[in-house]
Amino acid sequence: MSIINQAYQQQIKEKAIQLGFSDLGFAKVEALNGDKDRLDQWLKSGYQAGMNYMNNHFEKRTNPALLVDGAQSVISVLLNYTPKELQRDKNAPKLARYAYGKDYHFVIKDKLQLLFDFIKSEIYPSLDGRLFTDSAPVLDRAWAAKAGLGWIGKNTNLIHKKLGSYTLIGEMITNLEIEPGEPIKEACGGCQRCIDACPTGALMAPYKLDANKCISYLTIEHRDSIPEQFNGQFDNWAFGCDICQEVCPWNWKARPTKEEEFTPNPDLINLSKEDWHQMNEEQFRTLFRKSAVKRTKFSGLKRNLDFLK
């Protein structure tokens, strides 16, 4: 088919906003050669830590044409997750903000399916493709940046000029030919607050992250005991870490999310320091039944909490 016109592209974007997404952009499927070289070097340096799955499907990870048959375009979506309120007890163990509400994998995937169905029924009946959100060998941030939704900041997060970096990314890789967006210029300038603020030195330099030292990795993906070298460096983070985002000027004026599914459980927001440390497995299952925190399991959260004592 020929490339769909701008009017149809605008319809797709308007439908995405109507469904609750914060922004949407288009990119043409092609090999990400620059990102391929950077990923290869990152993996060879061992900065993926215990995330061995990052070594898998390398060619597919850097070229979606090998992942999805007939792929012509990547439609990237962003969903703001800036919470309306934070944990009340300032001394309580801290939770990454993306985990305050319902697990984003389900929220984004459901909205993507509705958007896919709309395009298929209203614009292109022969639409085919696959939907992803941090769930397959896809370089989410690279595609969002390529679509003009932001730039990769020095903290390695995607930064959107209006939304900041508290956004979750999803994409459709489809057989639809679309006029691609234009990448925008990186706008971190001389700022390196994120690097200076990282308590473990995981942000070694601009755009370079060593997961072996990252609090998010150590409290979620890491399965063994937390190395004693990090004792006293976690700044009370029990699941994930937002430090490099909290200090970023692009987040200081970020507006709260409109997504009701991300509304924090009041019981979670009101947990005291004592409540966290006295939590049992039944309470864990009740509190985090629909949350991304389930990834670490009760045993993992208990390990993290014990490390903070």
Report yes or no on 188 lying in a domain: no
Cα–Cα distances in angstroms (integers) from residue 302 to residues 128, 286, 290, in the given order: 44, 15, 19
List, in sequence order, the alpha helices (H) in the chain: 6-18, 33-44, 58-62, 104-122, 140-146, 193-197, 215-216, 243-246, 266-269, 273-278, 281-287, 297-308
Q: What is the CATH number of the domain that holds 76?
A: 3.40.109
Non-local (6+) Cβ contacts of 158 within 8 A are 78, 140, 141, 144, 145, 149, 150, 151, 152, 165, 167, 169
What is the rounded CA–CA span in Å between residue 122 and residue 9? 12
Q: Are residues 256 and 109 in the same domain?
A: no
Q: Do 111 and 225 share a domain, yes or no?
A: no
**Residue 224 burial (CB < 10 Å; 0-12/13-18/19+)?**
exposed
- Is residue 145 helix, strand or coil? helix
What tokens appear for 246 in the block? 């909290």
Residue 261 inside a domain? The answer is yes
Give a yes or no: residue 182 inside a domain.
Answer: no
Per-residue pLDDT of the chain (309 residues; tens, 9 = 90+): 457 788 999 999 999 999 999 999 999 999 999 999 999 999 999 999 999 999 999 999 999 999 999 999 999 999 999 999 999 999 999 999 999 999 999 999 999 999 999 999 999 999 999 999 998 999 999 999 999 999 999 999 999 999 999 999 999 999 999 999 999 999 999 999 999 999 999 999 999 999 999 999 999 999 999 999 999 999 999 999 999 999 999 999 999 999 999 999 899 999 999 999 999 999 999 999 999 999 999 999 999 999 998
* End position of a domain, from candidates 174, 209, 233: 174
Residue 40 and residue 118 share a domain: yes
Distance (Å) of CA 140 to CA 29, 49, 50, 255, 288: 13, 20, 20, 23, 26
Cβ–Cβ under 8 Å, residues 161 and 50: no
Place of tokens 């390990």: 303
Residues with a catalytic annotation lie at 134
Rounded to whole angstroms, what are the CA distances from 299 to 80, 93, 224, 225, 227?
30, 16, 11, 11, 17
Q: Could you tell me if 213 and 154 lie in one domain?
A: no
CA 59 – CA 66 distance, rounded (Å): 7
Is residue 253, in this structure, part of any structural domain at all? yes
Is the same domain home to 60 and 150?
A: yes
**How far apart (Å, rounded) are the C-alpha atoms in residues 53 and 137?**
9
282 and 158 share one domain: no
The domain tally of the chain equals: 2
C-alpha span between 133 and 21 (Å, rounded): 13
Closest CA to 30 of 139, 155, 185: 139
pTM of the model: 0.96
* Per-residue model confidence (pLDDT) at position 162: 96
The residue segments making up the domain with residue 269 are 193-308
25 phi and psi, to 5 degrees?
-145, 165
Report yes or no: 136 and 169 within 8 Å, Cβ to Cβ.
Answer: no
Q: How many angstroms separate the Cα of 287 from the Cα of each of 40, 83, 91, 102, 297?
A: 39, 17, 19, 11, 12
- Within a domain: residue 160? yes
